[in-house]
Amino acid sequence: MSKVVAFGEIMLRLSTERHLRFSQSTAFDASYGGGEFNVCVSLANYGVNAEFVTRLPENEIGISALKEMRKMNVESKNIIYGGERLGIYFLETGAGTRGSNVVYDRAHSSMATIEKGNIDWEKVLEGANWFHWSGITPAISETAAEACLEAIKVAHKLGITISCDLNYRSKLWQYGKTPSDVMPEMLKYSTVILGDIDTAYFMLGIPKVNPNYQDEKSLPVLYSKLFDLLPNLKTVATTLRYSVSASHQRIGGVLFDGKMLYHAGIKEVTPVVDRVGSGDAFMGGLIYGLLEYQNNKQKALDFAVAACCLKHTIAGDYNLVTLKEVENMIDGNSAGLVSR
């Protein structure tokens, strides 16, 4: 059985109710989430052995986060403790022409103050065949970036497949380093990358482009530039998102393996219940697809797109769908009929 280990921060999510603005809210819905943990939840739902590694505060909120991991059937045996607090993010959910808004409160969190050497990665990665990280972890602090690079290097030494969701968050890069200062060294070990071409170029410090994802002649050239710069890269995928409004999204995807270009058709998603975590749902679906359908990249991409679409119908960070529900959508069953 495959084992996927992911490294990142789990946060307390405080979201306004009924699409209220922050200034209107007298209460917040409390739940948990975070990019890499969301990926683990998806994989666990599909039957994959998924383990999440993070640092938690040794208090009641940290214990509650640990219980959440166990509730979601995500392995947590290598969690470490320390630091003062759990990171928080506030979410104001948009509607119609008003987009959603996120405010982060994660400075000095347990993960933001993690340091290289805190985790025995040789021990943690024993028996794993996939390691996942995202561009969020190196964005939260310099020490978190160093700890993440340490994990990546050990995974590479052990011959483990390494995936990265670029996940650029401009509000997080506040400690004096830019993505192009940090990400190239980390990305050079990655074998699977999810992200927009222009974001990848930006993070690698090369001139940005404005790609046309429908142009099957120019796309391989643009993607191939990444393969030239990143020696271990084998697969790049991009989520195609066309936002009609906060309540109506059009979702597709592209995958390039260095030789072939694959497209997944655009699907209409309306009404949107919760867009947050949909990129993580795509990433979780992509990892599952590449593990399960190793000789069928098209099906792997179709699985990721279907998983992403379904996440838009579920409140909260997690993609709480079953393997069967994703497969049904791939097969064209998207009418939302009652299952009897």
For the segment 238-263, what is each residue's pLDDT rounded down to a tens digit? 999 999 999 999 999 999 999 999 99
Q: Which tokens is 299 given?
A: 């099906």
Residue 320: name the closest of 277, 291, 290 by CA: 277
Per-residue pLDDT band for 339 (boundaries 50, 70, 90) equals: low
Q: What is the pLDDT of residue 335?
A: 61
> Which domains can be identified in the chain, with CATH numbers?
3-326 (3.40.1190.20)
Is-cis flag, bond preceding 271, omega within 30?
yes
CA angle 131, 111, 176 (to 5 degrees): 100
Rounded to an integer, what distance in angstroms lies between the CA atom of residue 114 and that of residue 178? Answer: 19
Rounded to an integer, what distance in angstroms lies between the CA atom of residue 10 and that of residue 4? Answer: 17
Per-residue pLDDT of 193-224, as tens digits, reads: 999 999 999 999 999 899 999 998 999 999 99
204 touches 229 (CB < 8 A)? yes
- What average pLDDT is seen over the chain? 96
250 touches 266 (CB < 8 A)? yes
**Total length of the chain:** 340
**Residues ≥6 apart with Cβ < 8 Å to 119:** 53, 78, 80, 147, 150, 151
Q: Which tokens is 80 given?
A: 């470490």
% of the chain surpassing 90 pLDDT? 94
Question: At residue 340, does pLDDT exceed 70?
Answer: no
Rounded to an integer, what distance in angstroms lies between the CA atom of residue 158 and that of residue 119? Answer: 16
Helices assigned H by DSSP within the chain: 35-45, 60-71, 121-124, 137-140, 142-157, 179-187, 197-204, 218-229, 278-292, 297-311, 323-330
